[in-house]
Amino acid sequence: MVRMTVLASGSKGNSTIVSSATTRILVDAGLSCRELMKRMRAAGEQPETLDAILITHEHQDHVQGMAVTARKLGIPVYLTEPTHRAWVRWMTPQKRITYAEWLAQRQSTGHRAPGSEEKQGAGSREQGAEDGVRRSALGVQECDLASVRCSADVGAEPDPEEKAAAEEAIAEAEKEPQKDPAALPAVEYFRAGSGFRIGDIAITPFTIPHDAADPVGFVFEADGVRIAIATDLGYMPSNVSVQLRVCDVLMLESNHDVDMLRDGPYPWSVKQRVMSRVGHLSNDAAAEFLARGYDGGAAYVVLAHLSENNNLPELARISAERALRDRMSLLANHLLLAEQDRPLEAIVL
């Protein structure tokens, strides 16, 4: 029996469990450890039985609970070497500040309300790294240009899950102040294009176009069942579309409605980034793939990483349904929408 449980999906946190009869993998840990545990239990999964954490890329909404969860459960983290380096760099604080100072700093400099771009400074990642980046006591990266966040759901207030993850790590650091915040129980490197195994699950990582150090998607295979996860990609290149063939479950990004994004409140630099070739897949781009690039074989198509500010579940659903309706062979397909605030019921194959 192979199972996939989406615990959370969206720009505030991403996490999914893929499991076989004997192996359980947490794919991304983008919620606080406490929230991850809570959602696992609510979804009928036991956190203590996880074998590994597997990471797609270093953006906060994919890693903010990673270190605390890995340390708590004593399990290895699998990522690429460039992703690990990028994460370690960000986790190394320039100076220690209190949590209250961190919040104050965010509000005064790091996170501006939508529409305040004129005060925000320049628009390149390089300049963001020079000017816009602030680090918390834990090295949690802050960037007003959102180059460290995924879909740049920019807001004036810190996201509650981000706050919870930071508080957890601060509490841990207070207990053991000597401990390196970037310490992990074990790190295993993989490379895009080179398959590997965790227990009885075979994993093929593939490169995706996204503005992170070395972002990947995954195909999982166990007991003859194939599950593909492809979120956080600016467009659908042929190397990715090839990987998404002959899958039983396809989890695909449907991030934004292009008109909502264009007319929405984001600074232009952020809009450009989301729409770029290394940003996120729009509803239209996902539908285009479902209509033309996809082989129609998946029993479940899960639309994922929907933007809270620039999308509506109904819009994502309608465009995917329209794309799939033209495919006569797809009548047996289930179309699901992954949610930010609650786990989806487990998909069992």
Residues that bind Zn ion (CB under 5 A): 59, 61, 150, 232
Closer of 148 and 203 to Zn ion (Cβ): 148
3-state secondary structure of 31: coil
Closest separation in Å from C-beta 150 to Zn ion: 3
- Three-state DSSP state, 304: strand
Pick 205 or 333: Cβ nearer Zn ion: 205
In the complex, least distance from residue 337 CB atom to Zn ion, rounded to whole angstroms: 16
- Those residues whose C-beta lies under 8 Å from the C-beta of residue 160, and which sit 6 or more positions away, are none
265 contacts 311 by C-beta, under 8 angstroms: no
Cβ 135 to Zn ion shortest distance, Å: 19
Between helix 160-175 and helix 66-73 the angle, nearest 10°, is: 50
Asked if 145 contacts 125 with a C-beta cutoff of 8 angstroms, the reply is yes
Q: Which residue lies nearer to Zn ion by CB, 2 or 63?
A: 63
Shortest CB 109 distance to Zn ion, Å: 23
Q: Which is nearer to Zn ion, 184 or 274 (CB)?
A: 274
Cβ-based neighbour number of residue 17 at 10 Å: 22
* Radius of gyration of the chain from its Cα atoms, rounded to whole angstroms: 19
Q: What count of other Cβ atoms lies within 10 Å of the Cβ of residue 36? A: 30
Cα–Cα nearest to 210, from 11, 1, 42 = 11
Q: Which of 2, 74, 51, 60 is nearest to 29 (CA)?
A: 60
Token pair for 123: 């628009």
N-term to C-term CA, the chain: 6
Phi, psi for residue 52 in degrees, rounded to 5: -165, 160
Nearer to Zn ion, 120 or 151 (CB): 151
Q: Which is nearer to Zn ion, 132 or 279 (CB)?
A: 279
For residues 25 and 150, which CB has a smaller minimum distance to Zn ion in the complex?
150
Residue nearest Zn ion by beta-carbon distance:
150
Q: Which CB, 202 or 278, lies closer to Zn ion?
A: 278
CA 109, chain centre distance (Å): 25
Place of tokens 């899958």: 247
By three-state DSSP, how is residue 16 classified?
strand
Cβ of residue 151: shortest distance to Zn ion, in angstroms?
A: 6
CB of 212 to Zn ion, least distance (A): 6
C-beta of residue 8 within 8 angstroms of C-beta of residue 31: yes
In the complex, the smallest distance separating the C-beta of residue 42 from Zn ion, rounded to whole angstroms, is 22
Nearest 5°: phi and psi at 94? -75, -40
In angstroms, rounded to a whole number, what is the distance separating the alpha carbons of residues 57 and 151?
A: 13
Measured from the CB of residue 210, what is the shortest distance to Zn ion in angstroms?
5
Q: How far is the CB of 16 from Zn ion (least distance, A)?
A: 12
Nearer to Zn ion, 61 or 168 (CB): 61
